[in-house]
Structure 1
Amino acid sequence: MADAHAKPQHDYHIIDPSPWPFLGSIGALIMAIGGVAWMQYLKGGDFPIFGVNIANPWLFFIGLAVVLYTMFGWWSDTIKEAHEGHHTRVVSLHLRYGMIMFIASEVMFFVAWFWAFFDASLFPGEAAQVARTEYTGGVWPPQGIEVLDPFHLPLYNTVILLLSGTTVTWAHHALLHDDRKGLVNGLILTVALGVLFSMVQAYEYMHAPFSFSDSIYGATFFMATGFHGFHVLVGTIFLLVCLLRAMRGDFTPQQHFGFEAAAWYWHFVDVVWLFLFASIYVWGSMGGTIAHGH
């Protein structure tokens, strides 16, 4: 009878009391307040709370450290639960639903940046009136703006991401067929391609003929491509963790949601880049002056 009470007779997993939601919320609050304090510090202002001026960057990094620690601890607990057999088919399905909803929220996040870009590019006259800092000449790209050659570094990065999508799919199929060597090799190549993409984009940013603050073109360009670059960085770390876990033997052909979620996220990053390349780099630069050497 005691054994019957100890083992639940259903497919759901009632988790033990966890500190992570509360700790993560506290970390996020500290990071948000710290972000405001950092911005005040950068512009030379004050940010007093209870009579204490906290205008400095350190509060932000304290909050970030708490959030990162929460992520590590929470996901470690999730992995432990999977190893203990708590991730039944129903629980695994709900984990997938959660990842799908997360990616859907990310889609809407990028919709906002595409909206801002197309609003400015399709109505350049109105954009100039709103910005009050430039004269677009009623054209896009704005007058006086030199643009990047879309078929130079941007095309190179497009090929890199498409190749990385192929290698992560190879790794997934290798895992399904219990090919541990193929899984590890595919992940190594994917992580390497992700790092290469970030390096190329950093080089492109350093040599861009326009800046974030000199025009609405630069603002919309860097916000959209910059946030995508951040997602590539996060996805690369995600896949690197999966690589370390794969080398440790964590994943099985039957149970590998952690890797599957990383692969979904990486494919999402790939697709967003294709839209960025086609709209911002190619279409958005039509009629503009290509910067020499870019």
Structure 2
Amino acid sequence: MRYYQLRRRGESTLAAVTESGAYDLSSVKPDLASFADLVSTAEIIDRPPDEIVTPLLDDATELSMEAVQANCTLPVDVDEVWAAGVTYQISEEARKEESNMAQMYIDVYDAERPELFFKAQGDRTVGPDDAIGVRADSNWNVPEPELGIVLYRGQPVGYTVGNDVSSREIEGENPLYLPQAKIYERCCSLGPCVSTDIADPHALEMSMTITRDEEPVYQETTNTAEMVRTCEELVSYYTRHNVLPEVAVLLTGTSLVPEEGFTLQAGDHVDIEVEDIGVLSNPVVSV
């Protein structure tokens, strides 16, 4: 099942999308106004979220997918976003190219411990159709399409699409500048929904299209099967010896990297699609 957080007529509501249609869960259970409301209820009564929702669908108000897509916001009210690096070979190659210290990325790719870093908190994260930002003090900025694991109190509860927007110029100058390359205004987007019924997160087709002046300037496809780390492994390292927020998203690494020399510009548009989840679409502004 796919869950969308909506903002309609000034109110926040939660919608469920199944093969048979889209349903406003808040119309039958007003206390289910967010995905966090749903998973917290599921934890209390020790039942999967989809089992709670299925009996509600018959009485819920039906919605058009057009209404869902036009009103969807961040799919989850996230407390913090973390991300993994160098989990795909193409990412290792790209970061070697940009850096003066290439060996460290080879070592991370082959190491037992993955690279994990803090990416953003909620107020630096945007949802579908909201603008992502590129740094005005960097001449080389790129989107990074990623599968995101949604966690509630440290436990995976679903998957979403993420964009880990980054300055390759700043990180390439010195790896110690990674926080500045990664963490800034509008540096991350998530959406359009949380999918709870993905059978295998390591076998999902992923694509990214970047449009400029209504013309594609980048368009590629890959598969999460190319990831050398498992989702379980990344979650294990993120949660160990850590104080966890109630709601978090862990991005699993970038699988599509525009060629060297390409940089995002204000006015561009980025569309990232992950199989069984949907399309995360964002315009680009300078920040």
Structure holding more strand per residue: 2
Q: TM-score range by the shorter chain?
A: under 0.3
TM-score in terms of structure 1 length:
0.22
Structure holding more helix per residue: 1
TM-score in terms of structure 2 length:
0.22
